[in-house]
Amino acid sequence: MNPLLDQFLSEGRDFLQSIGERLLQLEEAPGDSALMNELFRLVHTLKGNSGLFDLPEMTRVLHAAEDLMDAVRDGRIPFDRPLADCLLEAMDFVATLIDEIAEAPGDAPPSTAHHASDALRLGETLRSLLQDRARSADGADPAEEEPPAPPERPEAGASDARPSALDPIDLPEPLRADLIRRLEAGGSFCWLRYEPEEECFFKGEDPVHQMLQLGDPLWCRLESREDWPPLAELDAYRCLLRFEAILDTTPERLAEHFRYVPDQVRFEPLSQEILTAATAAEGGPASTSDRAFSAEAEWSFDLVLEAQREILALSDTPPWLDGRLRAVAASLSAAFASVGRESEIEGLEPALQAAIETRSPTPLFAWLAARHPQPHAGRATAPDDDTGGGSDRIAAAPAPGEPTSISSSDPEESIRFGRRAEDQLTSPRTLKVDQVKIDRLMNLIGEMVVAKNALPYLAGRAEEVFGVRELAREIKAQYGVINRIAEEMQDAIMQVRMMPVSFVFQRFPRLVRDIAHKLGKEVRLVMEGESTEADKNIIEALADPLVHIVRNSLDHGLETPEARQAAGKPREGRLSILARQESDRVLIEIADDGSGIDPDRIRRKAYERGLIDEAELERLTDQEAINLVFAAGFSTAEQVSDLSGRGVGMDVVRNAIARVNGSIDLRSQVGRGTTLRLSLPLSMAVTNVMIVESAGQRFGVPMDAVAETVRVARSDIRTIKRRRTTMLRGRLIPLLALNDLLALDAEQIANDDDELAVLVVRVDQEYLGIVVDDCRETIDIILKPLAGFLGGLTGYAGSALLGDGSVLLVFNPRELI
Amino acid sequence: MALEFKKTTAVARDLLGVEDAETLLEWLIKHPRGRVNLSACTHLHASNLQVLMAARPKISAWPKDRALADWLRAALTQ
């Protein structure tokens, strides 16, 4: 099933649910116009959505419902019970269709043509309601108005479509004879009349084409419904044609063929009766079916009576005996009436009374025996051969009786159609869950991970403190199992939270089009990898920065068509947005082929704004200059436009990305274009941190910031301009003591060889050494942001619980320095 | 152009579309005795058919397509 249809079905169910609720609420408060508007909007949207698919039946009914609601909304007709009933029935019909489509295998929505007659009938009911009400609202006494008859059952609708006696077709005699002969030989033919509506040409229909597609007719007639006016007044675009044909086809195929215009066609299978009826004017179909039921009906009648007999033969006396007796009496009365023996029912009522009074079935038994002696063995059902299982028989008995009572061609259809919302058969496959619940689940799993991490500590204690090595090993084995399950759980919940980046991307085509239009630029947007997935929080955090970047590209990056042509580039600029997954990160690349960023201009601007001094102006490499666009308060735009140039620019973008542990990389070549590469974690839930020790405390450092850990001999540390530095593989690394950064009043402790532990972190492509007392293991933690008063401490990314119950503060190297 | 007008005959070729009905009607009003040649016509839109039914011009040649010709004969000769 394609995703669009899937979404339509799941949304459709939601809509129907809401529509149902609103309708019920409206019954309580018919005057509530806000509610009515809401209802109208829901139906309108659902109708619009259904139009995306090839579902004319659904659209037709919804369209009629929409018209009706529109009239109610405008106050042209009042809202009341019968109207609500009709609308509810229409919605049940739509629900039936939706269920059917959802259950169908395959990709494309199945044809729902077999519901065409129901759709037609419902549509007409709704429309007639609209007209009746409108008239009665205009006219005198609405009290006289009878509530509209409840819509007929579908089987009635089907037989209603029977053309009124097929107005004796004056078929040529040889053809008639031929048809009768071929019908006898088992052929199937249909008579069809198609009267396209007058405006059909304006809807792009071509009735001739429709008819030609049906293949060669055995007989055809084409005439006008009215006399043609004089040529000068003829309106060629008002369709007045009437097509009639006899075709070698089935009604199902015709229904399918004309499914968009079911109200304009009538067809029915040809039978010998119809053909002969045309000759023998008065011999209606009634004569043919006169005694047709007798054999079958008699058999069913016997079965019903037999079942009643069995019920009466039950010897127990349950508290519901009265009800059982009444039921038997009702069944008997109905059975006798159905075979035309109404006169015999008279004695039944006294027998029933007597039976109830005596609390015994005997009087009824006697009555039945008098009217219908026990049939002998050898009838349709041999009663002797089944000794037990009376209830089975009762359940099975009525089934063959169906043809007499229901004339519908498809009884299953009517059963399904009649169902209401409360006996929903299929449950939807997708769940909509409040995000809070998912978050709670994730928090719980987080705690589980923490609790799980306590097991190795326990194992350690078992061995070291209590000296039970055996137990320690068993705890570790158990830990392995729990660890695996916890990881799988974590993975599963991550999957739930995953969203495709298309959630953000989908707004770009429109955005790019509008902005390009406003700026008079020609832009082609290329998007790839929309299905790449990442955690919901990440995706949401991405939305605003991406919009900003795209705007920047359009505003500053891409040139006007004229400028592009002058530069020897195609008039149309190209903006590409690509997303892909690389190990545990999502990469998003936004590239344009515009003018690029001129480093000299950036240098000058930055200098003018006082962001850099003269020395830096000389020293900055081009790449460093380009990165200046990320500096706070930087803007190159000469003018503040409504698109960009307010100075809240790329620094905001960078911070937003950094907040979700992402990084941003900007490359640009003058005249060739600019590429921005965002790298984001797939998920924020679990953070891998390295534990370091300093001044007797433990701290965490996010692993993605850690480049390496080294031991540096104190003698290798040089002080340059009062800052400590060291050479590491030919690179000069500035060193900062963690105790100084955190204002802890202690010296960093060196190891026995007088070497200091240095954590080399990478901040914005620059390396920096942080001197700590010791580096420890790395662990996975659930990072909780600091909240409340501590929330203002930007130096820390958050805190986490460790397996031994202590709290670990995780610092944020970028902010700390 | 699907419709070509000779002196007394309108010749229809390929597909007579919905727009052609107007042209055909105008021509038939101006040429009440004009004939219509449909031999090269593969399909005609129902609006054209209406014009022909209302004007009843003499059809000098029926379409070669048998199914189409059958329908047209049913409409125009009865």
- Predicted confidence (pLDDT) at residue A637 exceeds the cutoff of 60: no
Instruction: Determine the average pLDDT of the residues in A476-495.
Output: 88
Question: Which of A262-266, A330-334, A710-714, A801-805 has maximum average pLDDT?
Answer: A710-714
Where residue A386 falls among pLDDT bands split at 50, 70, 90?
very low
Neighbours of A153 (CB within 10 A): 15
Stated pTM of the model: 0.43
Give the span between the Cα atoms of A499 and A160, in whole angstroms: 51
Give the span between the Cα atoms of A160 and A121, in whole angstroms: 10
Sign of CA dihedral A784, A788, A790, A792: positive
Partner residue facing A220 (CB), from B24, B66, B74: B74
Instruction: Determine the average pLDDT of the residues in A419-448.
Output: 72
A/B interface, count of CB pairs below 8 Å: 78
The residues near A682 (Cβ < 8 Å, ≥ 6 apart) are A494, A533, A534, A535, A538, A581, A584, A585, A586
A201 interaction partners in chain B (CB closer than 8 Å): 18, 45-47
Do A173-282 and A501-681 fold alike per CATH?
Answer: no
Question: Of residues A194 and A421, which shows the higher confidence score?
Answer: A194
* Beta bridge pairs of residue A525: A575
State how far residue B75 is from chain A, nearest Cα, in angstroms. 5
Runs of H (alpha helix) within A465-575: 469-497, 502-505, 508-519, 536-552, 561-566
Confidence at residue B1, expressed as pLDDT on a 0 to 100 scale: 58
What are φ and ψ of residue A663, in 5° steps? -130, 160
Confidence at residue A385, expressed as pLDDT on a 0 to 100 scale: 43
Q: Are A683 and A494 in contact (CB under 8 A)?
A: yes
- Predicted confidence (pLDDT) at residue A653 exceeds the cutoff of 80: yes
Instruction: Determine the average pLDDT of the residues in A340-363.
Output: 77
Instruction: Determine the average pLDDT of the residues in A1-10.
Output: 78
Confidence at residue A278, expressed as pLDDT on a 0 to 100 scale: 53
At the top level of CATH, the class of A686-816 is mainly beta
What are φ and ψ of residue B38, in 5° steps? -110, 10
* CATH number of the A501-681 domain: 3.30.565.10
Q: How many CA atoms lie within 13 A of A5 on its CB side?
A: 19
To probe the interface with B, which of A169, A205, A226, A231 has the most B CB atoms within 10 Å? A231
State how far residue A248 is from chain B, nearest Cα, in angstroms. 14
At the top level of CATH, the class of A3-160 is mainly alpha
Partner residue facing B29 (CB), from A208, A232, A241: A232
* Three-class secondary structure of residue A662 per DSSP: coil
Instruction: Determine the average pLDDT of the residues in A498-511.
Output: 84
Query: Mean pLDDT across chain A, nearest whole number?
Result: 77
pLDDT along chain B (78 residues), means of 10: 80 84 86 85 86 85 84 80
Confidence at residue A589, expressed as pLDDT on a 0 to 100 scale: 92
- Predicted confidence (pLDDT) at residue A63 exceeds the cutoff of 60: yes
Q: Which domains are assigned to chain B?
A: 3-76 (3.30.750.24)
Q: Are A757 and A751 in contact (CB under 8 A)?
A: yes
Q: How many CA atoms lie within 13 A of A469 on its CB side?
A: 0
Q: Are A647 and A660 in contact (CB under 8 A)?
A: no
To probe the interface with A, which of B30, B36, B43, B50 has the most A CB atoms within 10 Å? B50
- Predicted confidence (pLDDT) at residue A411 exceeds the cutoff of 50: no
Instruction: Determine the average pLDDT of the residues in A250-279.
Output: 76
Q: Which residues of A touch B (CB under 8 A)?
A: 196, 201, 206-209, 211-212, 215-217, 220-224, 228-229, 231-232, 234, 236-237, 239-241
CB contact under 8 A, B78 and A234: no
Give the span between the Cα atoms of A121 and A734, in whole angstroms: 83
What are φ and ψ of residue A788, in 5° steps? 65, -135
Question: Of residues A638 and A67, which shows the higher confidence score?
Answer: A67
Where residue A478 falls among pLDDT bands split at 50, 70, 90?
very high
> A173-282: which CATH topology?
Alpha-Beta Plaits (3.30.70)
Q: Please state which of the ranges A174-183, A235-244, A387-396, B22-31 shows the lowest mean pLDDT.
A: A387-396
Where residue A414 falls among pLDDT bands split at 50, 70, 90?
very low
ipTM of the complex as predicted: 0.89
A221 interaction partners in chain B (CB closer than 8 Å): 74, 78
CB contact under 8 A, A231 and B67: no
Question: Of residues A94 and A651, which shows the higher confidence score?
Answer: A94
Where residue A122 falls among pLDDT bands split at 50, 70, 90?
confident
Instruction: Determine the average pLDDT of the residues in A37-56.
Output: 84
* pLDDT tens per residue across span A748-769: 888 888 888 898 988 767 888 9
Confidence at residue A381, expressed as pLDDT on a 0 to 100 scale: 42
* pLDDT tens per residue across span A514-570: 888 888 888 888 889 888 888 888 888 888 888 888 888 888 888 888 888 888 888
Three-state SS string across A122-182, please? HHHHHHHHHHHHHHHHHCCCHHHCCCCCCCCCHHHHHHHCCCCCCCCCCCCHHHHHHHHHH
Q: Are A543 and A505 in contact (CB under 8 A)?
A: no
The amino acid present at A708, given as its one-letter code, is E
Confidence at residue A635, expressed as pLDDT on a 0 to 100 scale: 60
A218 interaction partners in chain B (CB closer than 8 Å): none
Percent of chain A with pLDDT over 70: 81
What is the token pair recorded at A402?
């169906």
Question: Which of A34-43, A281-290, A292-301 has maximum average pLDDT?
Answer: A34-43
Confidence at residue A154, expressed as pLDDT on a 0 to 100 scale: 39
What is the token pair recorded at A496?
């739930």
Q: Please state which of the ranges A287-301, A329-343, A613-627 shows the lowest mean pLDDT.
A: A287-301
Instruction: Determine the average pLDDT of the residues in A100-104.
Output: 81
Confidence at residue A128, expressed as pLDDT on a 0 to 100 scale: 81
The residues near A316 (Cβ < 8 Å, ≥ 6 apart) are none
Confidence at residue A284, expressed as pLDDT on a 0 to 100 scale: 39
What is the token pair recorded at B76?
């125009």
CB contact under 8 A, B49 and A216: no
Query: Mean pLDDT across chain B, nearest whole number?
Result: 84
Residue spans of the domains in chain A: they are: 3-160, 173-282, 295-421, 437-498, 501-681, 686-816
Where residue A578 falls among pLDDT bands split at 50, 70, 90?
very high
* pLDDT tens per residue across span A786-811: 777 777 777 788 888 777 778 888 88
Where residue A817 falls among pLDDT bands split at 50, 70, 90?
confident
Partner residue facing A234 (CB), from B48, B54, B71: B54
Confidence at residue A485, expressed as pLDDT on a 0 to 100 scale: 92
- Predicted confidence (pLDDT) at residue A257 exceeds the cutoff of 90: no
A215 interaction partners in chain B (CB closer than 8 Å): 67
